[in-house]
Every structure is written in structure tokens, then in C-alpha cells.
């Protein structure tokens, strides 16, 4: 998981910093020839194309180095250091790196475009170009961090939809919902105590998050020891994502069984309910905005999950979802029966899903 997260961070960082430094060169040098031409009759020819190329190279290098440093701090040091100490240490590291990189670039640029640049030892202390670059780097770094926090908070698909105002007005969509819940949660909470139990749930949901991207799922919300996942129907039915995710999560927990047993004395197991249908999605709140789902689909999916213990099932789903998918091609399905939920006039046909590989 860490390796996958690291490469994804590198891709994000390289893309962002390449664009950022391309924009920096554009702001600093685009149209500069025409502007300076006003003050002289001599023909000016600045190597602007070369500056763009150097800006892209700088963005690529900074992007890789930035991703490595951020990953190391997030994975190994952020929990051991206070936030203030983390900011100070990273700032010093970035300052040193920028001095080294810009010094190397200045020598390279001199050779390429035949311009004498101030790159003697200590040049950066009083050089306005260096400090302009540092200020731009700091501003861009803040923007990158805020984007990363927002994407981690809402999820990539949800964040960009909110950014575009897609759900500012209530919007009807067909969605697949999965309610996934820890088995025997009350017993486990009593056994571990609230502090260790919170860490236990954190670890479980970290493992859940590690499979979300592969199966194109969005997190709708976490409620205690329960998570609610969502797919637009196209993504959920594609390659059986909505069911494959559950069994991928189950396999993940199985592989880490010994680690959970050594750390907590308990190996977690989860149960889930799946349903699909049309619901309304809208932005709610002004102080703490979030997307809210409204509709009977949510209540029904939660009730289906609630039947898992009664029918000794890990995964239950409605026939409505089953008929729209290719799930029977890979998984065994067992008809549980016509279930009548309180407050609903129509009965719901429920099926139990099991993995053929484990039977």
C-alpha cells in the first residue's frame, strides 16, 4: 500500500510542480522582450523558449524531491514530531534543496544560453531572483497542501465535483451503496477498551482505503465502526467492482490476520449490504460543507446489511442490483427469501453472495 501511495504522490507532485514552474516562467518572462524594447533601440532576443524548458525541468526535479520528502515525513516522522517542528525541519530542508538546485541550474543555463549569472558562493543570500522563487515555491506548496487535504477529506471525485458546483442544486443520480460494518463490534469494544478500539478501527479503515481506488469506490461517510461506500452505477458494475471490493478487503484483512492478532488479540471481520437505485445528492451546510444523499436507497442498503447476522452472511444484496450486474459469473449467489421491511409496502428479494474460490 505504501509503495502504491508513494508512486501516486510522485505523479501528483510532478504534475503539479511542472505546471507551477511553467506558470512561473510565463509570468516572469512572457512579453518581457516587448516591454524592454520600449527602453532601447537595440534588438533584444531573450532565450524565452530555453527558460520554459528549464522551468519544466525544475518542476520535474522539485516534484520528485518534494514527493519523497513529504512521503517520508507522512509515513515515518509526522507522528513522532510536533507540527511546528515538522514545518521548521521541512522548511530548512527545502531551503537547502532550492539553493543546490538553483545553483546547479545557473551553471547549466550559463553554458546553454551564454549569460553570466551571479552564482558564486553565497549568491542566494542577496539575490532577488532566488527569494522570488522561494516565495513562489512557498505559495505553491501551500496550495498543493490545501488541495491534498481537500482531496483526502472528500475523495478525488467528490472534491472536484464540489469544486465545479455539480451538486449545489440537488441532483438525482443512480448509485450503488454498500454499508460495511465490523462484526461483533460491541464485544470487541468491551474487550479492547475505547482507546485501543479506536486504533483498531483506524487500522481496519486504513486497509479498506487501500483498496478503494482500484475498485473505483467513493467513501460517503464513516459512522463509528461502519463505512458507507458509493459508486455511480457505471463504475460499480464495471468488472464487478462493487462486489470485488468487499472480497479484496476481506483478503487484505486475512493477509494481515497475524499482525492484528499480535497487536490487538483480535482478527477483524466485516459484513456488508449492497443495494442500488435513484437518490438525490446535494451540498448541505455552510460552516462544514459536505455532500448528503437523500432517498430510500440508503435506508434499504443499511437494512440489508443489518440482516447479515441473522442469515450468517458476509455479503447480502438486493435482487434489483443482482439483475443489473454480472456477479453470478464469478460468485455464488443464494436466494435468502422475500424480506418485508417495516414501513415498506413491497417485499425485497435478498441474495447471499459468496466467493467461489473459498467454497
Domain that includes residue 107, residue range: 2-154
150 and 162 housed in the same domain = no
130/183 same-domain check: no
Nearest to 183 by CA among 106, 114, 266, 268: 268
Please count the other Cβ atoms lying within 10 Å of the Cβ belonging to residue 310. 10
The verdict on 105 and 123 lying in the same domain is yes
Q: Which residues of 38-59 are buried (b: 16+ CB within 10 A; e: fewer)?
A: eeeeeeeeeebeebbebbbebb
- Please give the residue that has the higher pLDDT: either 64 or 102: 64
Question: Which residue, of 108, 138, 154, is where some domain finishes?
Answer: 154
pLDDT bin (cut points 50, 70, 90) of residue 25 is: confident
**pLDDT value at 113 more than 60:** no
Helix axis angle for 128-154 and 83-113, nearest 10°, is 130
At 36-53, the pLDDT tens digits run 555 555 555 666 777 788
Is residue 86 domain-shared with residue 52, that is, in the same domain? Answer: yes
Do both 108 and 168 map to the same domain?
A: no
Q: Can you tell me the distance from the alpha carbon of 223 to that of 141, in angstroms, rounded to the nearest whole number?
A: 33
CATH number of domain containing 243: 3.30.70.1230
Residues 137 and 236 in one domain: no
- pTM of the complete model: 0.71
Residue closest to 208 by CA, chosen among 147, 239, 250, 170:
250
109 and 185 housed in the same domain: no
| Most confident stretch, 11-15, 98-102, 163-167, 344-348 | 11-15
Does 189 share its domain with 265? yes
Q: Are residues 344 and 278 in the same domain?
A: yes
pLDDT, tens digit, 9 for 90 and up, residues 190-230: 999 999 999 999 999 999 988 988 899 988 889 889 999 99
- Per-residue pLDDT for 359 more than 80? no
Q: Which of 96, 130, 154 is the last residue of a domain?
A: 154
Q: Decide which of 125, 154, 183 is a domain's last residue.
A: 154
Q: CA Rg, the chain, in Å?
A: 27
- As a dihedral over the C-alpha atoms of residue 69, residue 74, residue 77, residue 78, rounded to 10 degrees, the angle is 120
Give the pLDDT confidence score for residue 9 in this predicted structure. 85
pLDDT band per the 50, 70, 90 thresholds, residue 169: confident
Co-location of 117 and 218 in the same domain: no
Same-domain pairing of 236 and 150: no
Say whether pLDDT at 246 is over 90. yes
Q: Looking at the 3D structure of the chain, how many domains does it have?
A: 2
**Rounded average pLDDT over 180-194:** 93
Q: Which residue has the higher pLDDT, 268 or 119?
A: 268
Return mean pLDDT, the chain: 84
| One domain, residues 49 and 170 | no
Greater model confidence, 226 or 138: 226
Amino acid at each position: 500500500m505504501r509503495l502504491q501511495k508513494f508512486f501516486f504522490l510522485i505523479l501528483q507532485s510532478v504534475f503539479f510542480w511542472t505546471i507551477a514552474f511553467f506558470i512561473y516562467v510565463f509570468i516572469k518572462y512572457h512579453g518581457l522582450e516587448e516591454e524592454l524594447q520600449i527602453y532601447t533601440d537595440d534588438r533584444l532576443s531573450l532565450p524565452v523558449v530555453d527558460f520554459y524548458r528549464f522551468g519544466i525541468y525544475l518542476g520535474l526535479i522539485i516534484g520528485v524531491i518534494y514527493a519523497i520528502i513529504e512521503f517520508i515525513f507522512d509515513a515515518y516522522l509526522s507522528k513522532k514530531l510536533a507540527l511546528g517542528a515538522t514545518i521548521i525541519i521541512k522548511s530548512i530542508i527545502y531551503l537547502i534543496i532550492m539553493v543546490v538546485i538553483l545553483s546547479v541550474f545557473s551553471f547549466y543555463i550559463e553554458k546553454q544560453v551564454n549569460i553570466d549569472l551571479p552564482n558564486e558562493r553565497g549568491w542566494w543570500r542577496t539575490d532577488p531572483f532566488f527569494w522570488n522563487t522561494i516565495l513562489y515555491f512557498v505559495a505553491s506548496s501551500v496550495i498543493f497542501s490545501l488541495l491534498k487535504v481537500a482531496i483526502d477529506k472528500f475523495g478525488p471525485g467528490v472534491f472536484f465535483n464540489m469544486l465545479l458546483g455539480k451538486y449545489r442544486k440537488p441532483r438525482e443520480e443512480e448509485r450503488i451503496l454498500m454499508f460495511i460494518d465490523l462484526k461483533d463490534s460491541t464485544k470487541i469494544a468491551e474487550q479492547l477498551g475505547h482507546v485501543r478500539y479506536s486504533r483498531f478501527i483506524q487500522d481496519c479503515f486504513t486497509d479498506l482505503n487501500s483498496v478503494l481506488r482500484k475498485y473505483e469506490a467513493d467513501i460517503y461517510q464513516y459512522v463509528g465502526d461502519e463505512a458507507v461506500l458509493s459508486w455511480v452505477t457505471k463504475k460499480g458494475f464495471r468488472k464487478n467492482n462493487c462486489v470485488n471490493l468487499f472480497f479484496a478487503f476481506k483478503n487484505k484483512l486475512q493477509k494481515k490476520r497475524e499482525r492484528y492478532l499480535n497487536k490487538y488479540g483480535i482478527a477483524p471481520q466485516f459484513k456488508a449490504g449492497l443495494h442500488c437505485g435513484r437518490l438525490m445528492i446535494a451540498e448541505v451546510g455552510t460552516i462544514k460543507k459536505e455532500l448528503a444523499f437523500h432517498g430510500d436507497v440508503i435506508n434499504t442498503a443499511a437494512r440489508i446489511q443489518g440482516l447479515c447476522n441473522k442469515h450468517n452472511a458476509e455479503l447480502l444484496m438486493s435482487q434489483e442490483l443482482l439483475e443489473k450486474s454480472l456477479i453470478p459469473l464469478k460468485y455464488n449467489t443464494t436466494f435468502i427469501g422475500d424480506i418485508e421491511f417495516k414501513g415498506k409496502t413491497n417485499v425485497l428479494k435478498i441474495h447471499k453472495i459468496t466467493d467461489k474460490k473459498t467454497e
